[in-house]
Structure 1
Amino acid sequence: MIPLVVPPETFDPVVREALDILIGSWREGFVQVSGFVGATVLLFSLVQYRFDGRLTAWLEEHERAQPLAGALLGLTPGCGGAIIAMPLYIRGTVSFGTVVAALAATAGDSAFVILALAPEAALYAYGLAFVAAVLFGYAIDIWGLGVGRVDRMVEGMSRPITDGGFATTNVADGGPSVPDYDAAHGRGAPACADHAHRDGRTLPGYLPESRLLERASHAIHVLWWVVLAGALVAGVLYLARGAAEPAWEFRATYDGLFTIAGLVGTTLSFYLYFVGRHYIGEGDAGRVRDSFGSLYGTFQHAAMETAMVTVWVIAGYLIYEYGLAIFGFDVAALAAAAGVLAPLAGAALGLVPGCAAHIVFAQLYALEEAIPFSALTANAISQDGDALFPLLAIDVKAAVVATIYTTIPAVIVGVAVHYLWPFAQFGFGVI
């Protein structure tokens, strides 16, 4: 991360480093992640708009095809496809095996790095991830594979935050741990901190009734799409230039586009998530829509979903970067560990939600030749990208169980590649 150009005497060194991480993450998260997420979520939303809910109905009617469909969603570059699968599980449309298949198949936004810099490695690594995701997803749906035991263990460790005080259904029983989403979010119950909006929606207690804020939120939503288009262009150029860190600029250049789109896009996303969505009809982020009444509503839904992911992405970036600064955690050293520890390290890193750590991991493979192909493959299977965030936002227990279960095929395949394909070498990566 390139530090800000600020005179050294302006801040204490510790404060300066903390600000560098905060503002750098604020800039990079939207360009490196949200631009691609927004494009893919919009694509799937437009498909829903075009087919008017028939795809969701098809999934409900063809349960045997669900893990395969989940893996295909996850296989799409970025996180948009897998993100679509999470609310489907929350509402009970798809099985838990489908969730695991989608998360195991996705390589998040690190896929764009590998596809751009080492496409042959992407073909093999993501092909293996897809096969493992399909097989493991069906195995969970058919045999369970001990999901119930892990589910009960997670519930015992973290009951206060996983079920929110509402009646729960075990993940092993085929449903989310908060099956009644409306009940879990207070609908039909007496209002507390929320108050009714004039069109039937509810506003949080910290927001006033305001026609001005409603109009401003619509305007900001439109502006957000303009900024996202710029971020997408900057993100593509970022990959085309070998993922080199752009300088801090506020001019009509690539570096300026990266900086302005990143800072403005993240700021607008935070507004939309915490304020705007409550005024323009998409207050329930993380919920799937069967159909959309208008093209504008389709764009609106995609923007709110991406804004939610952006908030979680920035949180993930900050936790990761501050963790590196405080504890000196060295991803390269862990990834380059000798022997079979390399794929084990790649699989373990996959437990970290979000894309920040995994983008770095992909760069270590494609640019620095610091990790073996077995570790890249294990990480591709284990990591859940930003697709885990919608599940975390609504059903923490299911999210924890799912991320544990994507680690299992990652370890198996990673170790198998290490022992059975020891000389695999693709793109710029080395064994």
Structure 2
Amino acid sequence: MNSTLSTKFSNLFTFSQFDLAYKRLLLPVTLIALVASPVTREVTVNTLSDAFWAVSCYVAFTLAIYHYLSRLISKQNKVVTLFHRSRNYQVFFSALLGALPGCGGAIIVTTQFVSGRVGFGAIVAVLTSTMGDAAFLLLASKPDIGVFVIGVGIVVGCLSGWLVNAIHKDDFLRPELQQALPIAGCNSNNANTFERKAINLQGAFWQWLIVPATIIAALGSFQVDINQLFHLPEMSIEWTGTILIIVSMLLWALTKEIKDYESTVSEDAKCVSSHPLQKAAQDTNFVTAWVIVAFMAFELVAYFGHLDLPLIFSGWGAYMPLMGLLVGMLPGCGPQILVTSLYISGAAPLSAQLANSISNDGDALFPAIALAPKAALVATIYSAIPALIVGYGFYFLFEV
């Protein structure tokens, strides 16, 4: 009996959520430590509260609408024939698919290029127009700027794709047809029982919170003092936001192991049949995690270093669009969310955001590298050229 218990205890720390593979736990554990310390408590509570009420709630609401609409739109496929009718239509619809928040549209076009259904111009168009999950954050925090950046991405994506069509044939750098990777996996099918429970709890967490949390977030956006409105003690709503965001990060940390770069910076795979709120919850927590990293790093550096980071970054001037472009060339959505977070906080200018949005390929670059590495490399370089032009064009026209 004792031997059996010892074996189970040993397995728990070898294969369970406490395994070092679950490095995501470092985030909530660090946040708890920062809240517990009297030195960092005030700045941490204020930052996490802002991240939850001003970002996570709006991202969850935006994602819920998006996934509900996606479920309705996916039932109609009238544009498929038009999509494959000509090279120009392929580029146009690929740019539109890339402009959809998230990486689903870009991944679809990538796999269709490998299967021979669309040309190389289409993959350049979709990688140029996509913002990945950073689009959700920008739309939730600054909807007018978000629509503008997405619109610019569509235009630049179309122009880039049409130009590439004029230079290259459709099968340029297309590999020999082979078994394609699946477009989307089902995280819960491959996960162990513990991870499935954590995934389900993420959905339940936002299912119950999304309506009241969005209402409170909206009131806060209109400068309503929530504590005073509901006759709560001072800092009550700030502590509530802090506790809720730490709980959401604990749930997020226990749903997936970190094994490599891709598993660190890309969103979790979701079941196609999952409820829209379940998908919204998983995406929201992924975006929130990277927002927290950006916000906390920003605030702690400013707090301990007594630095005005927006003022310091403004001194970088002409280097900021280049910084946004270079980060955008990194695969995955995580680094791009960091740049968008810097823009929202005022540390990065819009020119850097534009350069990052156009050069950003999001999670779509992972299947592209796996299926067609040469095409992925060239398409990434091609998307960096318009990013350089647009980023520095906006900088010299409006920011100098």
The reply to whether TM is greater than 0.5 is yes
CA distance 1:62–1:269, change in 2 (3 Å): farther
Aligned counterpart, 1:356: 338
CA distance 1:104–1:203, change in 2 (3 Å): closer
> Matched residues in 1 for 2:179 and 2:391: separation?
35
| Aligned-partner SS, 1:180 | coil
Aligned counterpart, 2:69: 43
1:299 aligns with 2:278: no
Q: How much does 1:184 deviate?
A: 12
Q: Percent identity?
A: 19
Alignment of 1:29-428 (within 5 A): 30-31=56-57, 33-48=59-74, 50-51=75-76, 53-55=77-79, 59-60=83-84, 64-75=88-99, 79-80=101-102, 82-90=103-111, 92=115, 97-106=121-130, 108-109=135-136, 111-112=138-139, 115-116=142-143, 119=144, 126-144=150-168, 173-174=173-174, 179-181=179-181, 203=190, 207=192, 221-229=203-211, 232-233=214-215, 255=238, 258-259=241-242, 261-270=244-253, 286=269, 297=273, 299=275, 303-304=278-279, 307=282, 310-311=285-286, 314=289, 318=293, 333-338=312-317, 340-351=318-329, 353-364=335-346, 371=349, 374-384=351-361, 388-389=362-363, 391-392=365-366, 395=369, 403-419=380-396, 422=397, 424=398
Q: How much does 1:47 deviate?
A: 1.3
RMSD: 5.5
TM normalised by structure 2 equals 0.58
CA distance 1:389–1:64, change in 2 (3 Å): same
| 1:34-87 deviation digits (Å, cap 9, x = unpaired) | 553343233223311x42x555565355653233223334445xx24x533324
CA distance 1:88–1:127, change in 2 (3 Å): closer
Q: How much does 1:409 deviate?
A: 0.8
> Matched residues in 2 for 1:88 and 1:250: separation?
52
> Matched residues in 2 for 1:361 and 1:38: separation?
24
Q: Structure 1 stretches of 5 or more lacking a match? A: 148-170, 186-200, 243-248, 275-283, 290-296, 425-429
| 1:144-192 deviation digits (Å, cap 9, x = unpaired) | 59x9xxxxxxxxxxxxxxxxxxxxxxx953469985225999xxxxxxx
> Matched residues in 1 for 2:274 and 2:184: separation?
25
> Matched residues in 1 for 2:242 and 2:251: separation?
14
| 1:283-311 deviation digits (Å, cap 9, x = unpaired) | x965896xxxxxxx3625x7347626744
CA distance 1:288–1:224, change in 2 (3 Å): closer
Q: Structure 2 stretches of 5 or more lacking a match? A: 1-30, 225-231, 258-266
Q: How much does 1:202 deviate?
A: 5.9
Q: How much does 1:135 deviate?
A: 0.8
> Matched residues in 2 for 1:177 and 1:231: separation?
48
- Structure holding more helix per residue: 2
Whether the 8 Å CA contact 1:41–1:84 is kept in 2: the answer is no
Q: Report the residue type matching 2:392 in the other structure.
A: V
Q: How much does 1:411 deviate?
A: 0.6
| Aligned-partner SS, 2:336 | coil
